[in-house]
Amino acid sequence: MSHDEHQTHHVNYLAVFFVLCGCTGLSVLFDVMSMSKGVTIVLVLAVACAKAMSVMMYFMHLKFEGNWKFVLLAPTTILAIGLPIALFPDIGRSYYINVAPQVTTWAPEVAEYEREHAAAAEHSEESH
């Protein structure tokens, strides 16, 4: 029950660090590569999860903690994932006709403007 001796697990923090850097590079790479939007999203988020896992496991020492970590983190994770999922059917899409979108209702000229500048936009998307 005492905590005096701090954990003697030796983690090669430098290795973890390089993995994290590599992952960051990877997400930037995915952004630059021309893939379909959906694929990019999935890949980039997967990389983020991998990074999060390594930070939690090694930097935050969860790998070496007792079972309390599950008691604390399992419900948190469920709620954290559950909340957006529960919000989705109402906010992420709507069951009824939504008349609020302004592209059509409120700014016909903006649509025009967008069209005019579409070419320029595509150009810049590549450069950036």
Q: Where in 31-70 is the site for another protein (CB under 8 A)?
A: 31, 37, 40-41, 44-45, 47-48, 51-52, 55-56, 58-60, 65-66, 68
User: What is the token pair recorded at 69?
Assistant: 């970590």
In one-letter notation, the amino acid at residue 84 is P
CA separation, residue 94 to residues 10, 70, 97 (Å):
51, 35, 7
Other C-beta atoms lying within 10 Å of the C-beta of residue 58: 20
For another protein, the closer CB: 28 or 34: 28
User: What is the token pair recorded at 55?
Assistant: 């930070």
CB of 68 to another protein, least distance (A): 5
CB of 79 to another protein, least distance (A): 6
Interaction residues for another protein, span 94-123 (CB under 8 A): 94-107, 109-110, 113-114, 120-121
**Contact between 21 and another protein per CB under 8 A:** yes
Say if residues 105 and 99 touch (Cβ distance below 8 Å): yes
Say if residues 38 and 84 touch (Cβ distance below 8 Å): no
Number of amino acids touching another protein (CB under 8 A): 74
What does R_g of the chain's alpha carbons equal in angstroms? 23
CB of 41 to another protein, least distance (A): 5
For another protein, the closer CB: 34 or 105: 105
